[in-house]
Every structure is written in structure tokens, then in C-alpha cells.
Structure 1
Amino acid sequence: MKQSAISKSIIERYLSYRVEHQREYFLHPPYMMEKQLLNAVKEGRVEAAESVLKNINTLERAKLAEVPVRSLRNSLICICTLFTRAAIEAGVPPETAFNISDAHILEIERMETQEKLFELEYSMMRNFTETVRQARKQEHRYSHAIHMAVTYIHENILQVVTLESLAKHVYLNPSYLSHLFKKETGVSVTDYINKKRIEESIYFLLHTNIPISEIALLFHFCNQSYYTSLFKKYMGLTPKEFREQNQY
């Protein structure tokens, strides 16, 4: 009987505590509002997404940590994950979406005040939504075969992609694919792949301490010298200069 009484007392205290703190601990955006926000991101509608986010931010947030700034950081990381998934579902190459996500999460961890975090939340939303908008424009600009080819390049940017492997993926003759690709994109397959690799390598220059020689190998450039020459061709600076000028 004594054990039963103790158990009942503990349960009552727990339920009382939960009722007392439920507004503080269990508040999350209404499902329909969250769905509206993610749909706006998926459709590339920046103004609509911003409007819904403003409405959500008039509500109290769930408490995800004892320290308010840490709680808000955790909340933004959750939102970033949702934005990333929405962008991928909308057609943004996963590698691109994850790179954007990683960069924003690093920024979230750097922010020291709630004001800066709220500013970053809107910037993050606009970045993902604009990326989706650009991806949707690109999808309509290219033929189905070239859209497939471009998507394959983006999704396999850390792998070896050749004209032959690309042609096999889109079920076209390599020679015909080469002609069609340059006609629609304005550049050769090789130039497109190289430029995309250079663009994606920027993330590693800005957000890691990986040596430039290793970044070159990661993106399958034959050596650091070739990587450096291509980087300067597309970005106007060497990788070393770019890293030094953009360090925080």
C-alpha cells in the first residue's frame, strides 16, 4: 500500500508539473502553418514564405534548452532541416541543399544573441526559397534529357563524372549529348562539371581547415595546380586568396 501511495504521489506531481509547464515546454507551430511555410519554400515563393514565418513568430516557441539562446539555436537547426528536405523535394540537388544547410548551421552556432538568430532565420528561409525558385526556372529552361544530365552532375559532384557515364544515364549517344548539352547550356559538359566543382569547393574553403591540395583531390582535379588555375579562371582569385579574403 505504501509503494502504491508513493507511486500515485509521483504521478500526481508529474501531471501537475506538466500542466503547469505545458505552455513553456510543448508549444510548437500549428501543423497547418508549418505546412504552409514549407509549401511556399517548395514553390519558390519568397514573399509568401516570409509572411507565414512572420505569423509563426508571433507565437511562443517550444523550449528546447534551458538557456534561451541555445533553445532558439536548436529551434533554427530543426527549421533548417525542414527547409533542406523541402528544397530537395522541390528538385534542388541534394548536395546543393545540404551544403546550404551546413553553412547555415555553422552560422546558427556563431550567433550570440536572439536578435541575430531571428535575422538569420529569415535569411535562411529566403536562401532556401530562392534556391528552389532558381532550380524550378532551370528545370523549365532545359529539355528533359539535359535536365536529367544537369541533375546527375549536381548529385554526383564528388564522384567521377564523364561524358560517357552521363550519356549512359540519360540514354543518349555521347556525341549527340555533347552537342545538345552545349546548345542548351552554352558550355561543354567538361566546362560545366569543372565550374560546378569549383563552386561546390568554396564551401570547404570557407568552412573547413582542409588543405587546398586535399580539396583538389576531393573534387577529382588531377593536382592542386590545375585546381588553382581553374578556380582563378572562374572566381578571379586563387583558392588561397579566396580563403584568406573570406575568413571570419
Structure 2
Amino acid sequence: RWDKKLIHCVSSGSKVNSVKILDKIFDLYFIDEESYNIRKYQNKLIYYNTLLLDLLIEKDFGNLYATGLFQRYMDKIEGARFIRDIKNIFYDMIMDYCFAISEFSVKHYSVLVGKAINYINSNLENNLSVSEIANQLYVSPTYLSRAFKKETGFLIIEYINKLKIKHATFLLRDTALPIQDIGRIIGINDVNYFSRLFKRYMSQTPTQYRKIFN
């Protein structure tokens, strides 16, 4: 019952309603503070993480973003040692999946813009251009740009950069990968440009951002 309610709330991108359901789940199922039961709580989170991955797949998210988010939380779950860790991970997981749904869902867009978003999500590791995306969709770059801006409120390149930087924050927080490698993973080979772009969106450099979580 509560599983379905939580997934329904996340599927709408509602953080407020998702947290309300999450609090209920905590009260009902996460009450044992003893660390020797940590495995059963880890298994519960793996179950929820899998349900949420299925939700992203159902909504046509690209493989890099969906599987990256899923694997990020699998690693966090396996590293949990105490019930407080489990609760913090569960909360962060719900927030990140809500963000993904609210920011990048394609269901409420036109077919053209939805396809453009799908292509971006599926090719995030590449150095994408408006012309390349338009060619894949058999429309002119000008027409695609106009439709994309009208429906999303973003220029295509701005949308791509926003998604790349969001994925980069995951990698900075949860891996020890060098910053230049993280840039390459999201399709930005110039580490100086990556740092400038990251600072534009996050108001701090990748190095400064990483220090906060270390």
C-alpha cells in the first residue's frame, strides 16, 4: 500500500507529498535501531531503488542518467552501517528521483520535444549540438530550438548543460574520480571549460563542491 503511494508521489515529481509518505514508511518499517538488522533495511532500500529505476525507464529516461542514479544509490545502500544512514540515504534517494521526474520527464511535452529530450538523455556522454539533435529528428535546428524553448523554457544547450552538471554533482559527491574524468563522462573534455560551466550553474567550482561532501 505505502509502496504504491510513494511511487505514485515520486512519479508526479512532488517532493512534499513524497516526504509525507516517506515519514509514514519510516514510522511503520524503520523502527529497529539495532545495527545487526541493517541487512534487512538495505534490502528494503534496494527494493525501492529498483522500483524507482523502473519508473524512470517507464518514463523513457536515458540510460546514462537512469542507471547512473540507480547505481549511485546501490553503492550508498551497500555502504550503510547504521539505521540513521539508511534513513538519510532513503530521503536523498527520493529527493533525487523526484528531481529527475520533475525536471526531465517527457510525458507532458509534444512528440518532437519529447524525442529531443530522450535523445539528450541517451547521449549525455557526447558533445551534443542543436544541429545534431535536429538532424536525428529530421527537422531544422531553428524549428526545433523554437519548439524546445516554448515548451521547456530552456534553450537546448542550456538544458543539456543543466543535465550534465546535475550528473556531475552525483559523481563529485559519490566517487573519487578525478575532475577531468568526470568531465569526460558527461561529454566535456576540456577540464577548464567544465570548471567554468560548473561554477556558472552551482556558484562554485567542482573542487569546492566536492570538499563540502568530504
TM-score range, shorter chain: 0.7 to 0.9
CA contact (8 A) 1:50 1:125 kept: no
Equivalent runs, 1:15-54 vs 2, <5 Å: 34-35=3-4, 37-44=6-13, 47=17, 51=21, 54=24
> Secondary structure at 1:213's aligned position in 2?
helix
Q: Counterparts of 1:116 and 1:164 in 2: how far apart (Å)?
A: 45
CA contact (8 A) 1:104 1:124 kept: yes
Structure 2 unaligned regions, length at least 5 = 31-35
Letter in 2 for 1:117: I
Which structure has more relative contact order (CA 8 Å, sep 6+)? It is 2
Equivalent runs, 1:1-248 vs 2, <5 Å: 34-35=3-4, 37-44=6-13, 47=17, 51=21, 54=24, 58=28, 67-118=36-87, 120-129=89-98, 131-136=100-105, 139-140=107-108, 142-247=109-214
Give the C-alpha shift of residue 172 in structure 1.
0.9
| Alignment deviations for residues 100-159 of structure 1 (CA, whole Å, 9 cap, x no partner) | 3233333323432224424543553454345434545x643x433122212221221012
| Alignment deviations for residues 18-53 of structure 1 (CA, whole Å, 9 cap, x no partner) | xxxxxxxxxxxxxx6655554454344663785498
CA contact (8 A) 1:159 1:220 kept: yes
C-alpha RMSD over aligned residues:
3.4
Q: Counterparts of 2:25 and 2:164 in 1: how far apart (Å)?
A: 39
CA contact (8 A) 1:94 1:155 kept: yes
CA contact (8 A) 1:201 1:219 kept: yes
Percent identity (aligned): 27
Q: Counterparts of 1:219 and 1:240 in 2: how far apart (Å)?
A: 16
Structure 1 unaligned regions, length at least 5 = 1-31, 61-66
Q: TM-score, length-normalised on structure 2?
A: 0.75
> Secondary structure at 2:204's aligned position in 1?
coil
